[in-house]
Structure 1
Amino acid sequence: MRTHVALLRGINVGGSGKVPMADLRRLLTERGFTEVATYIQSGNVVLTSSVADPAAVATTIEEILRDDFAVPRPVVTFTRDEYLAALAANPFPQVTEPKQLHAIFRAAAPTEAELTGLDTALAAERAAGGQGDAAVIGRVVYLHLPDGLGRSTLAARLTSRSRAADGGGTARNWATVGKLAELLGS
């Protein structure tokens, strides 16, 4: 059995994509997942599965979202070890305020074009006088946003649906990242 972290994009945000977590936990259990736990209402799931492949786990959860909730959303899944490695790889360990540090978890590592887009977004952040910074390690884009997520040119460019620079990933603040690690028993 493998433990996975599944991050559902756009769940219970702004009145759309409504997915009750109790119902999601029940449906995941009915599909054979065990030790299913959720954290807050925004689509953070830790579960155990006989399926080793995180992409296959994501596909099953996407099917549940589409078929049972009529909420088609992408799901990004990491194994327990991958998730904990991403937590340990934080390139901004000096940031102590969890609201200033975010991670965009992606299904795949950024392409060269997406890395170029990140460089462009960083340049725009600097031109606007922002202090934000970003780093990519594997399938995770780490964002240090000292001015806050809502005021960051960098964050706006990276999470814009029209640009898809986030590669279909889903962002979490560092407090949530840490809480999920606690659910993993780390």
Structure 2
Amino acid sequence: MNRRIVLVRAVNVGPAQLPMADLRSLATELGATDVATYIASGNLVADVPGRAADFDRALERAIEARFGWFREVTSRTPAEVRAALDAHPFEVVEPKYSYVSFLAGEPSPEAIAEAEGYETGDDRWAVIGTEMHIRYANGAGRPTMKSDSIVRALKVPGTARNLRTVAKLLEMAG
């Protein structure tokens, strides 16, 4: 077993409703222990069996089988999440305006160069390894940049959490 912070992309928006009790149940059915969720946005902390990537893919399949829609699952060790939080390259004026998007892999230099062509106004982003760091000047609800377009240009799916959520998940992971 290894401790993981497991993130499910884009749940509880639109038709992709995933009650956290069901997420905990699915993870437990797949062999995870010491399972906990945080807020209703697909955040899970657990000890998972076997290879993390295998657990992530199994959770994707289980969600799709039960609910009929697919969502990517990305997980990291607490140490990896701590390193991503520590590497945040932007001044944090308000933690809810700053995000880490945990990517499924490392974007190519060419994809990053393409994404750098997008207008961002006063918003900022940077890729460090397998994370995209974001700071919205006026909050995620009023962005000047189109972060979804940037992520598509990077050609690597990801799921973003604000720094408050990231810190809370680290606290839960112990």
Question: Deviations for 1:35-68, whole angstroms, at most 9, x for unmatched residues?
Answer: 11111111011110232x3321210110111112
Matched, 1:6 2:12: no
Structure 1 residues 80, 29: CA separation in 2 closer, same or farther (over 3 Å shift)?
same
Tell me the TM-score normalized by structure 2: 0.91
- Work out whether residues 114 and 165 of structure 1, in 8 Å CA contact, stay in contact via their aligned partners in 2: yes
Residue 48 (structure 2) aligns with: 49
Query: Is 1:16 matched up with 2:7?
Result: no
Distance in 2 (alpha carbons) for counterparts of 1:153 and 1:164: 17
Q: Equivalents in 2 of 1:162, 1:100: separation in Å?
A: 18
- SS of residue paired to 1:153: coil
Deviations for 1:105-127, whole angstroms, at most 9, x for unmatched residues? Answer: 10101122320133112xx12xx
Deviation at 1:163, TM superposition (A): 3.5
* d(CA) in 2 for partners of 1:141, 1:169: 8
Per-residue displacement from partner, 1:122-167 (whole Å, max 9, x unpaired)? xx12xxxx2111121111000111122233232x1x3139945462
Which position in structure 2 is the counterpart of 1:101? 98
TM-score normalised according to structure 1 size: 0.85
Take 1:55 and 1:182, find their aligned partners in 2: how far apart are those partners? 23
Q: How does 1:133-144 map to 2 (within 5 A)?
A: 133-144=124-135
Amino acid in the other structure paired with 2:56: A
Greater mean deviation of Cα atoms: 54-63 or 38-47:
54-63
How far apart in 1 are the matches of 2:138 and 2:28? 41
Could you tell me how far apart the structure 1 residues matched to 2:74 and 2:23 are? 16
User: Residue 101 of structure 1 aligns to which amino acid in structure 2?
Assistant: S
C-alpha distance in structure 2 between counterparts of 1:160 and 1:147, whole Å: 19
RMSD (Å), alpha carbons: 1.9
Structure 2 unaligned segments of length 5 or more: list them.
none
Residue 84 of structure 1: which of 48, 61, 82 is its match? 82
Q: Secondary structure at the match of 1:38?
A: strand
Q: Residues 184 and 115 from structure 1, CA distance in 2 versus in 1: closer, same or farther, beyond 3 angstroms?
A: same
> Helix, strand or coil for the counterpart of 1:26?
helix
The equivalent residue for 1:176 is 165
The answer to whether the Cα contact below 8 Å between 1:99 and 1:148 also exists between their aligned partners in 2 is yes
Q: Partners in 2 of 1:181 and 1:76 — Cα distance?
A: 15
Identity, in percent, stands at: 40
CA contact (8 A) 2:124 2:134 kept: yes
1:183 to 1:139, Cα distance in 2 relative to 1, 3 A = same
- Note if contact 1:5-1:78 (Cα within 8 Å) is conserved in structure 2: yes
Answer whether contact 2:99 2:135 (CA < 8 A) is retained.
yes
Which of 64, 67, 74 does residue 72 from structure 2 map onto?
74
Query: 1:144, 1:162 → 2: CA distance?
Result: 15
